[in-house]
Amino acid sequence: MVYWRIIRKSYRRNLQYRLSHLINNVASSIFGLVFIAIWMGVLRGKAVHGPYDAETMACYIAICQSVLWVTTFMSPGLNVQVGVRSGAVSLDMIKPVHYLWYTLSQEFGRLLYNACYRSLPIGLLLGLAVGFSFPSDPLAYLLFLLSLLLAAYVGMLLFYLVGISSFWTTEVRWLHLILLSLVFGFGGQMIPVDLMPGVLGQLAPFLPFAAMIYYPVMNWLELAPAYSIGVQLLWAVILTAVALAVTKQARRKLEIQGG
């Protein structure tokens, strides 16, 4: 299948950077350690209601740091804006594969690479620091995998939408930063979203940002609510529809500008 081939090519291309990334993982783990230390300070000597005792919270943050590399740390705009600026996008659009799936396959290859050379080492390092936590139920692994794939998919679509906005604007850098801060703020990387105060805590679990980080992590910890996969699926469907529609508009825009 052609998309699988694109994925494999993209994976291999990324292998070139392996060594420098493996070193960088140590620095990234320090970020994780800082977050864990903050939470230990917050929780020290306090009775916590709900599932978040100090030990669970440490694992939560550690798994978050690992999951981030598959669902959040993607290429800005999935590099769509690069093609738009150089004009290469017109060639990509006339390829016999759909532009959306083509772009997503490219990115997915990179994410597979990230999973092997970023997520695993970082998870290992942080696990050594705070202790490992494995699901007891074999079914949980399956749910986690499904949740992780959906998270990556939702993330890719959001990043894609930022990238394709470059058909109408000149600069996507700021839109990208806004998206990133929304994901960091409401995705659950700093704080499990259900712990947020007031309305925020009730709303955040149903935003697409929680679908990117919070749910896969909670599925690994076997703490996810039953509807978690449902929320992710719903966002996957909605965003797919939006992305397809926007891609169609972009294609039309391209045709108007013409050769």
Q: Which residues bind another protein (CB under 8 A)?
A: 20, 23-24, 27-28, 30-31, 33-34, 37-38, 40-44, 46, 171, 174, 177-178, 180-182, 184-185, 190-191, 195-197, 200
Report the distance separating Cα 28 and Cα 31, nearest Å: 5
- To another protein, the closest distance from the beta carbon of 82 in angstroms equals 17
Q: Which is nearer to another protein, 174 or 227 (CB)?
A: 174
Report the distance separating Cα 52 and Cα 115, nearest Å: 26
Residue type, 81: Q
Report the distance separating Cα 65 and Cα 31, nearest Å: 8
Q: Which is nearer to another protein, 34 or 238 (CB)?
A: 34
Report the distance separating Cα 184 and Cα 182, nearest Å: 5
- To another protein, the closest distance from the beta carbon of 236 in angstroms equals 25
Q: Which is nearer to another protein, 52 or 144 (CB)?
A: 52
Report the distance separating Cα 12 and Cα 62, nearest Å: 27
Q: Which is nearer to another protein, 52 or 235 (CB)?
A: 52
- To another protein, the closest distance from the beta carbon of 37 in angstroms equals 4
- To another protein, the closest distance from the beta carbon of 237 in angstroms equals 28
Cα angle 23, 26, 31; round to 5: 140
Interacting residues of 149 by C-beta distance below 8 A, sequence separation 6+: none
Report the distance separating Cα 81 and Cα 173, nearest Å: 10
Q: Which is nearer to another protein, 95 or 173 (CB)?
A: 173
Interacting residues of 251 by C-beta distance below 8 A, sequence separation 6+: 93, 99
Q: What are the helix (H) ranges across the chain?
A: 2-14, 18-43, 54-71, 80-86, 89-93, 99-114, 120-130, 138-164, 173-186, 198-203, 208-212, 214-220, 228-257
Q: Which is nearer to another protein, 197 or 258 (CB)?
A: 197
- To another protein, the closest distance from the beta carbon of 116 in angstroms equals 19
- To another protein, the closest distance from the beta carbon of 220 in angstroms equals 22
Q: Which is nearer to another protein, 49 or 256 (CB)?
A: 49
- To another protein, the closest distance from the beta carbon of 106 in angstroms equals 22
